[in-house]
Each structure stands twice: as structure tokens, then as C-alpha cells.
């Protein structure tokens, strides 16, 4: 099939590449000329495991191409995916200017029947707005489908190629049939393509992300309470997770959720509630608890240094909002670093993939190390903020030699407490 993907970021590029992988001819469109130049030169503009291999293979096979022209995209594709940003607006709602701006232009450019598929995460009712924006100018038939994306950064290729489910919100039989045909190769193992109305599809995405954010947040509160009463959150987590109604995943406490999705999606659902006369009290709590949790290590650090961080050398391991990505949007590390800098600390950070993104944001405000050990040289303490696997089994004696102060603040509970203490460190983690 002939596909155009409008917006070639984390979702658009993975979608385009993985659709090409099953034989479709895909044209990816982005307004960012520099990004498009890079991709045309065979360079993957983001870090996402396994994406490079598929990217190269499909470019070589001429199934994957790139352009900045929306017009070309519309001429090429029978199915037009929108994978555009829906960032948080000032009032917490999802900003639809990218989606509706492109929809307006599609209306002006569309010359024959197309299925416009919204992959971006959008509030309930957006597909009606997209339809209206296109219909304002369009002189031909078209359908709008809501097809929320559930891929996880770090596992995006696998998630796209082998999805647990595909949600398609559509009220057009013609469009539904096309979507089923397109996605059939990805659900050969029997996972479902769930067809529903557009509004339910839009809400399914927000409900899923908000539920997961609430699960993480609940566990973070339990961890904080463990510290008050002398319980061990690791034990509680295992005790809870073995109940199949609860499940083992998303029960790991830490320094809050971040990233490009959970923070904005929880806020957008909360705002959607308000706009429809519904007060999502649970989401209010999730938002507030998470904001506090991102800084949960700060009082512990202050306490350790007797409230005097001026001139203290703090090493930071991990900048990305989670492992296996270079994405730093809403990363807890950045909130912590800002607070530590404001109190006069010197920061030296290391992250396997996210340093160039942080360099663009923070410039010379912090130092960047070439390795996890280099970051520790003369450090008074180490703060761990992302659970990259290379941090999981460090050489503690090497760390001890490099560091001046032997204290680790671990926001991701990477180690057994007794192991780190036996190595001669003071070890402060979450809920233990």
C-alpha cells in the first residue's frame, strides 16, 4: 500500500519504517528540513534500538523516502498518518495547533479519496475537529480514523512490529477495511485489532497512560510511606505483584515518571475532564504527587551535606527520562539538576545516549563525562537517575577510588542495599 506519514519524530519514523518493513511504500514528511536532510543521507535522527537496521534496509529497497512537502505526501499516500506533536498547552490541555494546521492544509491539497489516520495522542473529540478542518476546503470524499499509538520508546520497533493490540476508531467501513488490511501482517500471532468508535479510541490512549502513571505514582507513595515506618518497598512490591489482579509490572518505585507522554497525557485528560464538567480527582493527585516525587532525593541530599551544597561535586548517572532512549522531555534528572545547581553544586553527568540533547538545553551549566567512571572523579556523591543497564553492575572499588565522598543517592533502586553498604558506601535509595 502507499502510505504517507506526516511528522517524522519518535512515533512517525518508527511507524513509517515499520510499515515499509512489511512491503508498503512509505513517504515520511517533516517540516524540519535539517532532519529530512539527515534522513535522506541515511542518518537516523533519533536513538531507538534496532531502528537503524530496518531504516537502512527499507531505504535501500526504495520503500522508505523522506520529504518536506505535504503536497507530495498527499499525492503519494492512500493512507495519510498524522504523527504530529500534541504538546502541553499553558493550561495543561493538549495543543492541537499542529494537527489542525496540517488538517487544514490537507483539506486544501486533497484531490481524491484518502484515509487520514490520527496516530498522535489527542483529546476525545479531536477526530471531529480534524474532519471539520479538512471538510472546510475539501471537494472530495475522505475518512478520518483514530489509531492511537501504544509503542514505548526504547522498545518502539518491537512494539510496532508485534503489538499487543491495535486500536482503530472508525465509523467508516471503507476505512476500517483498509486499516485491517494494512495491520494484518502485524497481528499474525492472534493479537486483536480492536475496532471501536473514534471517541472511545481517543480516550483509550489517555485512559491507558493515565492508569499507568497512577500505578507508578501509587507505588511511589507506598515507597515514601515505607521509609516512614521501616518497611522495605522491594518486599512489598513482590508481595503485591504476585497477585495476578495487580501484576508485576509498573510497580518499581523511583523518582517519578517523565518523558514525552505520561506527564502531558495525564494533564490533558484532567483538563478534558474539566472542559466536560468532570473533576478527575485521582488525576489531580497523580500530577501533584509526581511533581513532588521528581525531587524526592533533594531533601536527602541536603540532609547529607548539612544543607550546604555550595561547591559540592555531584556526579549524575543517567539523564534520559528512561533507559534505551535519548529522550529527555520531562526527565526527572533535569528537575534534580536544576535544583542542585540553584544550591551551588557542581554537576558532572554521564548518559550513554542523551548527553547531546542535554548539552543543547543546559550548555556549559554542567560538565559532561565520557564514561560513567569519569563522571565520578573527585565527586562528593553520586546521584543515579536513569536505570541504564550499564549502571547495574559497576566496579564499586573503582568507584571508591575515584570518589572523594562515598555516598550514592539512587533514584532507581538499582542495587541491593546490603551489597552497596558492604562495599563501604552510604547508600540512600527509595522506600528501603
Ligand X SMILES: NC(=O)c1ccc[n+]([C@@H]2O[C@H](COP(=O)([O-])OP(=O)(O)OC[C@H]3O[C@@H](n4cnc5c(N)ncnc54)[C@H](O)[C@@H]3O)[C@@H](O)[C@H]2O)c1
Catalytic residue among 18, 28, 226, 261, which?
Answer: 261
86 binds ligand X (CB under 6 A): yes
Of 10, 262, 317, 409, which one interacts with ligand X (CB under 6 A)?
Answer: 10
The residue among 9 and 394 lying less far from ligand X, judged by its C-beta, is 9
Smallest separation, CB 45 to ligand X (Å): 8
Question: Residue 12 interacts with ligand X (CB under 6 A)?
Answer: yes
| One of 49, 85, 125, 273 touching ligand X (CB under 6 A) | 85
Contact pick of 67, 121, 126, 220 for ligand X (by CB under 6 A): 121
From CA 38, how far away is CA 273, in angstroms rounded? 41
Which is nearer to ligand X, 29 or 179 (by Cβ)? 29
Minimum distance, C-beta of residue 118 to ligand X, in the bound complex (Å)? 9
202 binds ligand X (CB under 6 A): no
340's enclosing H/E stretch is helix 332-342
Helix (H, G, I), strand (E, B) or coil at 19: helix
Among 5, 8, 25, 81, binds ligand X (CB under 6 A): 8
Query: Least separation, in Å, of the C-beta of 196 and ligand X?
Result: 18
Residues 398-427 that bind ligand X (CB under 6 A): none
Asked if 384 contacts 317 with a C-beta cutoff of 8 angstroms, the reply is yes
- Tell me if residue 261 is catalytic: yes
Of the pair 101, 424, the CB lying nearest ligand X is at 101
Distance, CA of 239 to CA of 246 (rounded, Å): 10
The answer to whether residue 9 forms part of the interface with ligand X (CB under 6 A) is yes
If binding means CB under 6 A, how many residues of this protein chain bind ligand X?
26
Cα 90 from Cα 87, distance rounded (Å): 10
Helix (H, G, I), strand (E, B) or coil at 391: helix
Nearest distance, CB of residue 71 and ligand X, angstroms:
12
Least distance (Å) between residue 396 CB and ligand X: 34
> Is the Cβ–Cβ distance between 318 and 254 less than 8 Å?
no
Rounded CA-CA distance 166/185 in Å is 12
Q: Residue 316: phi, psi to the nearest 5?
A: -125, 125
Task: Rule CB under 6 A: choose which of 153, 353, 380, 410 binds ligand X.
Answer: 153
Q: Which stretch binds ligand X (CB under 6 A): 79-87, 280-288, 293-301, 417-425?
A: 79-87
Q: Is 149 in the site for ligand X (CB under 6 A)?
A: yes
Is 7 a binding residue for ligand X by CB under 6 A? The answer is yes
The nearest distance, CB 154 to ligand X, in angstroms, is 9
Among 26, 39, 83, 203, binds ligand X (CB under 6 A): 83
> Would you say 87 or 192 has its CB closer to ligand X?
87
Q: What is the DSSP string of 197-239?
A: -HHHHHHHHHHHHHHHHHHHHHHHHHHHHHHHHT--HHHHHHH
Q: Is 32 a residue that touches ligand X (CB under 6 A)?
A: yes
Among 370, 372, 374, 300, which residue's Cα sits nearest to residue 339?
300
Tell me the backbone φ, ψ of residue 167, rounded to 5 degrees: -105, 125
Let me know how long the chain is. 432
Burial of 286 (0-12, 13-18, 19+ CB in 10 A): buried
Q: Three cell numbers at 395? A: 566496579
Looking at beta carbons only, is 290 or 348 nearer to ligand X?
Answer: 290
Q: How far apart are CA 84 and CA 269, in angstroms?
A: 18
Residue whose beta carbon is closest to ligand X = 9
Min dist CB 219 to ligand X, Å, is 21
126 binds ligand X (CB under 6 A): no
| Residue 104 touching ligand X (CB under 6 A) | no
Taking the least distance from each CB to ligand X, the nearer of 150 and 280 is 150
Contacts of 280 by beta carbon, 8 Å cutoff, 6+ apart:
269, 270, 273
Task: Write out the three cell numbers for 81.
Answer: 498518518
CB atoms within 10 A of CB 265: 25
Q: Name residues contacting ligand X, limited to 154-193 (CB under 6 A).
A: none
Does 11 interact with ligand X (rule: CB under 6 A)? yes
Of residues 56 and 159, the one with the C-beta less far from ligand X: 159
Q: What are phi and psi of 114, to 5 degrees?
A: -135, 155
Among 18, 145, 151, 340, binds ligand X (CB under 6 A): 151
CA separation for the pair 232, 253 (Å, rounded): 11
Count Cα neighbours of 286 within 13 Å in the Cβ-side half-sphere. Answer: 25
Residue 57 Cα to chain centre, angstroms:
26
Which residues here bind ligand X, judged by CB under 6 A? Answer: 6-12, 29-32, 35, 83-86, 98, 101-102, 120-121, 149, 151, 153, 260-261
- Residues known to be catalytic: 261
Amino acid at each position: 500500500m502507499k502510505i504517507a506519514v506526516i511528522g517524522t519524530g519518535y512515533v512517525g519514523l518508527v511507524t513509517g519504517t515499520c510499515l515499509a518493513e512489511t512491503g508498503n511504500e512509505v513517504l515520511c514528511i517533516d517540516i524540519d528540513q535539517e532532519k529530512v536532510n539527515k534522513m535522506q543521507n541515511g542518518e537516523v535522527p533519533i536513538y531507538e534500538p534496532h531502528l537503524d537496521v530496518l531504516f537502512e534496509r527499507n531505504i535501500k529497497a526504495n520503500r522508505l523516502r523522506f520529504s518536506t512537502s505535504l503536497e507530495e505526501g498527499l499525492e503519494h499516500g492512500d493512507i495519510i498518518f498524522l504523527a504530529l506533536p500534541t504538546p502541553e498547552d499553558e493550561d495543561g490541555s493538549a495543543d492541537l495547533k499542529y494537527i489542525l494546521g496540517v488538517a487544514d492544509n490537507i483539506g486544501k491539497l486533497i484531490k481524491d479519496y484518502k484515509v487520514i489516520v490520527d496516530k498522535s495522542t489527542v483529546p476525545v473529540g479531536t477526530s471531529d475537529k480534524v474532519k471539520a478542518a479538512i471538510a472546510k476546503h475539501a471537494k472530495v470524499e475522505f475518512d478520518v480514523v483514530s489509531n492511537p499509538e501504544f509503542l514505548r520508546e526504547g522498545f518502539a520497533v518491537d512494539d510496532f512490529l508485534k503489538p499487543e493490540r491495535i486500536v482503530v476508531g472508525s465509523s467508516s467501513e471503507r476505512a476500517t477495511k483498509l486499516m485491517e488490511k494494512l495491520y494484518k501482517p502485524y497481528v499474525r500471532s492472534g493479537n486483536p485489532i480492536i475496532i471501536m468508535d473514534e471517541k472511545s479510541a481517543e480516550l483509550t490512549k489517555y485512559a491507558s497512560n493515565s492508569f499507568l502513571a497512577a500505578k507508578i505514582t501509587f507505588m511511589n507513595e507506598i515507597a515514601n510511606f515505607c521509609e516512614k515506618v521501616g518497611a522495605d518497598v522491594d518486599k512489598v512490591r513482590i508481595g503485591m505483584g504476585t497477585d495476578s489482579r495487580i501484576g508485576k509490572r509498573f510497580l518499581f518505585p523511583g523518582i517519578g515518571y517523565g518523558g514525552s507522554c505520561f506527564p502531558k497525557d495525564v494533564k490533558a485528560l484532567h483538563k478534558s475532564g474539566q472542559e466536560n464538567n468532570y473533576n478527575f480527582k485521582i488525576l489531580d493527585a497523580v500530577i501533584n504527587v509526581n511533581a513532588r516525587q521528581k525531587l524526592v532525593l533533594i531533601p536527602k541530599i541536603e540532609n547529607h551535606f548539612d544543607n550546604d551544597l555550595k561547591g559540592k561535586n555531584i556526579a549524575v548517572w543517567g539523564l534520559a527520562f528512561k533507559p534505551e532512549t535519548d529522550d529527555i522531555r520531562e526527565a526527572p534528572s533535569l528537575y534534580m539538576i536544576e535544583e542542585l545547581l540553584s544550591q551551588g553544586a557542581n554537576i558532572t553527568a554521564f548518559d550513554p545516549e542523551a548527553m547531546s540533547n542535554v548539552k543543547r538545553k543546559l550548555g556549559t551549566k554542567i560538565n559532561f563525562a565520557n564514561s560513567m567512571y569519569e563522571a565520578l572523579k573527585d565527586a562528593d556523591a553520586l546521584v543515579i537517575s536513569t536505570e541504564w543497564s550499564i549502571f547495574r553492575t559497576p566496579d564499586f572499588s573503582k568507584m571508591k577510588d575515584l570518589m572523594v565522598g562515598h555516598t550514592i543517592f539512587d533514584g532507581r533502586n538499582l542495587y541491593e542495599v546490603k551489597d552497596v553498604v558492604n562495599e563501604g558506601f552510604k547508600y540512600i535509595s527509595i522506600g528501603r
